[in-house]
């Protein structure tokens, strides 16, 4: 069980009327808090404390029909969700460009690569080539991991070579960086960025 420094447990909030938690199922979404909400709080913490400026991009939407009523705000009457060609989060830390995607899985044995699509991998490769700091935050097996984009590319290429469509649990534990969940910031991924890219032994 994960505990916040204040002793508050990070366990699922069992709400009245919800299904009982299935044994062995330990996805982030079952904890009553979402990965996205925790990252938003983390980014807000970084922002107000002057640590980093990272925002989630708006959901891409294809607008088809807009109504402009007199004397009131425009209403979008028809629109569709579009697949993003980039990642969801980006921003700046100590002048450097930061770019990442966050994903979660309910699987207890591996992280499925179908969580990413080719366009996003392409984008991450472009960012890496341009010297940006690129990674993914993966919530799996009851923990949250920081996986460098270069490591993700390895598993992505392997999928193309031998067809294995996921990252095994032990592989993620070995190549990813386990992030201890805190109270504030909740998911301190900048700490990993600092260690990997800014400390003396880095790069």
Q: In this chain, which of 58, 68, 199, 201 binds a second copy, going by CB under 8 A? A: 58
42 known member of a binding site: no
Q: Is 55 in the site for a second copy (CB under 8 A)?
A: yes
Q: From CA 8, how far away is CA 109, in angstroms rounded?
A: 28
Q: How far is the CB of 194 from a second copy (least distance, A)?
A: 14
Q: Is 126 in the site for a second copy (CB under 8 A)?
A: yes
Q: Give buried/exposed letters for 180-197 (b at 16+ CB in 10 A, else e).
A: ebbeebbbbbbbbbeebe
- Diameter of the chain by CA atoms? 62
Query: Residues 60 to 119: which contact a second copy by CB under 8 A?
Result: 60-61, 63, 73-82, 84-86, 90-99
Q: In this chain, which of 6, 15, 23, 59 binds a second copy, going by CB under 8 A? A: 59
**Comparison of 78 and 170: residue with beta carbon closer to a second copy:** 78
Q: Which residues pair with 104 in a beta bridge?
A: 139
Pairing of β 143-148 and β 177-179: antiparallel
159 known member of a binding site: no
- Quick one: which H or E segment has residue 200? none
User: Binding site, residues?
Assistant: 86, 88, 101, 120
């Amino acid at each position: 069980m994960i505990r916040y420094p204040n002793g508050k447990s990070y366990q699922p909030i069992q709400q009245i009327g919800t299904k009982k938690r299935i044994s062995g199922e330990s996805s982030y979404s079952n904890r009553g808090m979402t990965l996205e909400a925790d990252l938003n709080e983390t980014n807000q913490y970084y922002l107000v404390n002057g640590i980093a400026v990272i925002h989630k991009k708006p959901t891409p939407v294809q607008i088809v029909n807009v109504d402009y009523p007199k004397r009131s705000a425009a209403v979008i009457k028809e629109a569709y969700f579009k697949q993003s060609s980039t990642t969801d989060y980006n921003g700046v830390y100590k002048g450097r460009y930061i770019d990442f995607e966050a994903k979660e899985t309910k699987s207890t044995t591996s992280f499925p690569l179908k969580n990413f699509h080719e366009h996003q991998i392409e984008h991450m490769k472009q960012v890496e080539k341009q010297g940006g700091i690129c990674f993914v935050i993966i919530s799996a097996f009851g923990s949250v991991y920081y996986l460098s984009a270069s490591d993700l590319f390895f598993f992505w290429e392997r999928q193309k070579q031998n067809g294995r469509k996921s990252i095994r649990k032990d592989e993620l534990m070995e190549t990813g960086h386990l992030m201890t969940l805190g109270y504030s910031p909740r998911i301190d991924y900048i700490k990993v960025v600092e260690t990997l890219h800014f400390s003396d032994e880095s790069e």
